[in-house]
Amino acid sequence: MDWEIEAYRRSVAGLSPDTVRAYASDVGRFAEWAERGGASGPADVDRITLRRYLAFLATRRYAKATISRTAASLRSYFGWCARRGVIAADPSVRLSAPSPDSRLPRVLGHAELDRLLQPVPLTAGSEGAGQVSAPGAGARDVRDDAVLELLYASGMRVAELCGLDVDDLDLDRGVVTVTGKGSKQRQVLVHARCVDALRAWMDGPRTTMAGAAPGGTLFYNARGNRLGSRDVRRILDRRSPVPTHPHALRHSYATHLLDGGADLRVVQELLGHASLQTTQVYTHVSKERLRSVYSGTHPRA
């Protein structure tokens, strides 16, 4: 009997690359553990085995978030096995795991964002706004300007930004077509400053960094391949004076929209959330900020 993990990986290929990688890795680690206990395939696994595995992870001091994701991975995998008829019944139905510790996402202040999004001055030999005559650091800086502006202007996920092609942009209308989780497409709006940063990148430096990646790729890394999530993390490491995760720009985008009076369902649509409940975490962030402002400004607070 075979666990068919590669076939399972292909079946969830519509999810984000990071999710596919995590799910397949979780299932692979479970299969290795189960085989040590005598299981030769998914048909040898029952609900008790799954619960014991999650308990095993807890004794090894895995984070609650990791255990929770592992439970989701196993539910996805065994559901797939049941649909294919590999197993008679799905042992993962209603498999629960400890809820991850609730933490409000970090939101960047306006002063922080101003520093982070301040364009890097062009190198010597620049010709016009955003056009650098020589490849290298100058081209990279123009690309980084466009990446950061786009992340905060649109609130898109890092994986969504890395997957963008030139054809996904309609800069005349200030609209970007994003392919999100489950291959679902949505359109997001970008402001004029972001459009200018994208044009500066596309009208010159982009061609100097293009390499092996398909010609329609929007962002390239220094090796000439499509920009990856780790590349985006390095951009933040270079630009931010304090440690900042790229996802913080998405959190900040949503929170600032709500602070400005945007409707929650509009923000849900812009973020690409399937459930309104997922978007509601940002209302808690806004309430915390309001409490902070109140406490710091009211004379009797």
**Active-site residue, selected from the candidate residues 53, 77, 152, 282:** 282
**Active-site residue, selected from the candidate residues 29, 181, 233, 289:** 181
User: Token match 């397949």: residue?
Assistant: 24
**Active-site residue, selected from the candidate residues 69, 157, 226, 256:** 157
Residue 282 a catalytic site member: yes
169 forms beta bridges with: 176
For every residue of 61-130, DSSP letters joined together read: T--HHHHHHHHHHHHHHHHHHHHTTSSSS-TTTT---PPPPP-PPP---HHHHHHHTPPPPPPTT--STT
Residue 284 a catalytic site member: no
**Active-site residue, selected from the candidate residues 47, 186, 193, 247:** 247
Q: Find the length of the chain.
A: 301
**Active-site residue, selected from the candidate residues 226, 239, 250, 251:** 250
Residue 181 a catalytic site member: yes
Residue 157 a catalytic site member: yes
What's the CA gap between 164 and 75, in Å, rounded? 30
Buried b (16+ CB within 10 A) or exposed e, 175-184: ebebbbeeee
Using CB atoms within 10 A of its CB, is residue 96 exposed (0-12), middle (13-18) or buried (19+)? exposed
Residues 6+ apart with CB under 8 A from 240: 116
Residue 256 a catalytic site member: no
With beta carbons less than 8 A apart as the criterion, state whether 119 and 126 touch: no
What's the CA gap between 235 and 21, in Å, rounded? 23
With beta carbons less than 8 A apart as the criterion, state whether 67 and 58 touch: yes
Please identify every residue annotated as catalytic. Answer: 157, 181, 247, 250, 273, 282
